[in-house]
Homo-oligomer: A and B are copies of this chain.
Amino acid sequence: MKKIKRIGILTGGGDCPGLNAVIRAVVDTAILQYGIEVYGIIDGYAGLINKQLRKLGLKDVSGILPRGGTILGTSNRDNPFKYPEINAKGEKTYRDVSERVIKTVEYNELDALITVGGDGTQAIANQLYEKHGIPVVGVPKTIDNDLNGTDITFGFDTALTIATSSIDKIHSTAESHHRIMVIEVMGRYAGWIALEAGIAGGGDVILLPEIPFRMEKIKEKTDNRTKKGKRFSLIVVAEGAKPQGGEVVYLRKVDDPNDPIRLGGISKYVGDRIEDMTGIETRYTILGHVQRGGSPTAFDRVLATRFGFHAVEAAIKKKFGYMVGLRGQDIKTTTIKEAIALPRKVKPGCDLIKTALAVGTSFGI
Contact = CB atoms under 8 A, between A and B. Distances in A.
Interface of A: 11, 14-15, 17, 19, 24-25, 28-29, 32-33, 43, 58, 62-63, 65-70, 73-76, 151, 157, 160-166, 168-173, 175-178, 181, 196-197, 199-202, 228, 230, 262-264, 268, 283, 285-290, 292-295, 297-299, 301-302, 305-306, 309, 312, 327-331, 351-352, 354-355, 358-360
A305 B355 contact: yes
A326 to B, nearest CB: 10
B294 A169 contact: yes
Given A172-B68, A172-B294, A173-B293, A359 B24 contact: yes
Contacts of A176: 11, 15, 19, 69-70, 73-74
A287 B4 CA distance: 43
A328 B331 contact: no
Contacts of A181: 289
Nearest to A329: B151
Contacts of A58: 228
Contacts of A302: 196, 199-200, 352
A277 to B, nearest CB: 15
B164 A200 contact: no
Contacts of A19: 176
B28 A172 contact: no
B358 A28 contact: yes
A199 B181 CA distance: 30
Nearest to A73: B176
A181 B15 CA distance: 13
A287 B289 CA distance: 10
A359 B32 contact: yes
Contact of A287 (B168, B173, B290): B290
Contacts of A196: 298, 302
A268 B263 CA distance: 9
A293 B171 contact: yes
Nearest to A231: B73
A199 B110 CA distance: 29
Contact of A28 (B76, B268, B297, B359): B359
B177 A169 contact: no
30 contacts: A14-B177, A25-B355, A28-B359, A29-B358, A32-B359, A32-B360, A66-B202, A68-B171, A75-B178, A151-B328, A160-B299, A161-B298, A164-B301, A165-B298, A169-B290, A169-B294, A173-B289, A173-B293, A196-B302, A200-B299, A263-B264, A264-B264, A283-B289, A285-B286, A305-B359, A327-B328, A328-B329, A329-B351, A330-B351, A331-B351
